[in-house]
Amino acid sequence: MSPRTRSAIARLLLLLVGLAVGAVMLAAAFAPYVFAELAPILDRHAIVDPGPAKIAKGRMVDDYFAVEDLGAGVFAIGEPRYYQQNYAYLIVGSQRAVLFDSGTGTRNIRPVVESLTKLPVTVMVSHLHFDHLGGIDAFGELAAIDLPRTRAMVQDGRLTPGRHAYMGFVDGRSPPSPRVSAWLAPGSTIDLGGRSLKVLSTPGHTPTSMALFDPAAHRLFIGDYIYPTTLYAFLPGSSLSTYHATAQRLLADLPADTILWGAHCCRAGEGVAAPWLAMSDLRDMDRAVEAVRAGTATSTGFYPRRFPVSRQMTLATGFAWNNR
């Protein structure tokens, strides 16, 4: 082999190594997006459990939906056979009601809602991921939190979430385009008649995540920001610093006996039922976030990295340079 040929091969090998290193660095830098795009391949799953649901609380209203009466005009509507075991919340006043999350869209949640109240229902969603916004077509419209990021998704009065705001490609779903019936500013109040709910911006899991606080009952309906099992802080738009800022605000502003109603089942040792946590759990989660950010927490797994929080929760994050 001539020196010129050896030199050309060496240059080619260096180029290939450089490209490989560059590809790895790009994949690491954009890990939340890379992981999300690979999720349909890495995490193949059945959408609906073929077996019958086994619930610990409430009642099955058909072969798919469960309803749990939480008292004081609040109903948790669960999808126990759906692989993520989502829960939505119907909050009823004397004049109208709010459905917080529209169901996954795997089955039509509207007949269940209409069996529980004959009042006008306003639909709001905790965030725009497919397993929370997926059932909105049954209602056609929603009231949205008034944030610049949310406004940017609206054209001709209809909100269409972007690819990584909706994440529907994970289950082969296309984003809906519901009409925005109202804009609700963070800190504003919704009057349902004899019951008021406060709109809170709760970014962390996603930038446009929101919650509803019932000050009379000391209940916070909070979606995917916090719930039992594994918290997803590694997807596009997640941010640990924002998780911390939101937790600090909630801990400072909410009564110590507030119950947090999340969107995914189930509590350890409780079985399939509406998932709830206490303010002490929120404090535990915030401490875990701070330990992860400080580099003092121990994780398992490569991506996502999993950090223990408590008996009720695990925190799953990206790399140190992701999800800041």
In tens, the pLDDT along 114-153 reads 999 999 999 999 999 999 999 999 999 999 999 999 999 9
Round to whole Å and give the CA distance between 271 and 196: 31
Phi-psi group of 101: left, alpha or beta (phi > 0 → left; psi -120 to 50 → alpha; rest → beta): left
Instruction: Say if 183 falls within a structural domain.
Output: yes
The per-residue pLDDT for range 5-15, each reduced to its tens digit, is: 666 555 655 55
Tell me the CA distances in angstroms from 100 to 28, 51, 211, 221, one per residue in order: 35, 27, 9, 8
Q: What is the pLDDT of residue 229?
A: 96
Instruction: Say if 305 falls within a structural domain.
Output: yes
Give me the number of domains the chain comprises.
Answer: 1
Instruction: Say if 14 falls within a structural domain.
Output: no
Domain that holds residue 274: 41-317
Q: Is residue 21 scored above 50 in pLDDT?
A: no
Q: Is residue 160 scored above 50 in pLDDT?
A: yes
Instruction: Say if 27 falls within a structural domain.
Output: no
Q: What is the pLDDT of residue 19?
A: 47
Instruction: Say if 76 falls within a structural domain.
Output: yes
Round to whole Å and give the CA distance between 31 and 77: 34
- When the pLDDT of each residue in the chain is averaged and rounded to a whole number, the result is 93
Q: What is the pLDDT of residue 24?
A: 43
Task: Decide: pTM greater than 0.85.
Answer: yes
Helix locations, the chain, DSSP H: 3-29, 31-42, 110-116, 130-133, 148-151, 163-166, 240-253, 279-294
Instruction: Say if 324 falls within a structural domain.
Output: no
Tell me the percentage of the chain whose pLDDT exceeds 70. 91
Q: Is residue 18 scored above 70 in pLDDT?
A: no
pLDDT band at 22 (very low <50, low <70, confident <90, very high): very low
Q: What is the pLDDT of residue 142?
A: 97
Q: What is the DSSP letter of 120?
A: -
Task: Give the mean model confidence (pLDDT) for residues 253-275.
Answer: 97
> For position 60, which CATH number holds?
3.60.15.10
The two tokens of residue 303 are 């991506």
The per-residue pLDDT for range 25-62, each reduced to its tens digit, is: 444 668 899 888 988 888 889 999 999 999 999 999 99
Q: What is the pLDDT of residue 118?
A: 98
Instruction: Say if 8 falls within a structural domain.
Output: no
The per-residue pLDDT for range 79-117, each reduced to its tens digit, is: 999 999 999 999 999 999 999 999 999 999 999 999 999
Instruction: Say if 10 falls within a structural domain.
Output: no
